[in-house]
Amino acid sequence: MKQSILNGAACAAVLMLAACGGSSNTPVASGGGGATTTEPAKPKVSTEDLSTGAYAVSTGDADKPTVGRYYAAADGKRLLAFEDADDSVDLLLRRADAASAWVAVPAPTTDLNVSLLSSQARTLATPDAATLAGRYVVRLSDGAAADFNIGADGRITAGTSACKLSGSLASSTLPGALSLSLTSNGCAALPASATGVLVVDALDAPASLRLIADDGARTVDLRAYVEAASAV
Where are the domains positioned within the chain?
Answer: 6-23+38-122, 129-226
Q: Are strands 155-158 and 145-150 parallel, antiparallel or unpaired?
A: antiparallel
Interatomic CA distance for residues 148 and 232, integer angstroms: 10
Instruction: Determine which of 2-11, 45-54, 108-117, 185-194 has the lowest per-residue pLDDT on average.
Output: 2-11
What pLDDT digit, counting tens, does each position of 149-200 carry? Answer: 999 999 999 999 999 999 999 999 999 999 999 999 999 889 999 999 999 9
Interatomic CA distance for residues 136 and 206, integer angstroms: 13
Mean per-residue pLDDT, 137-154: 95
Mean per-residue pLDDT, 114-124: 96
This prediction has a pTM of: 0.83
Mean per-residue pLDDT, 13-29: 46
Higher pLDDT, 45 or 232: 45
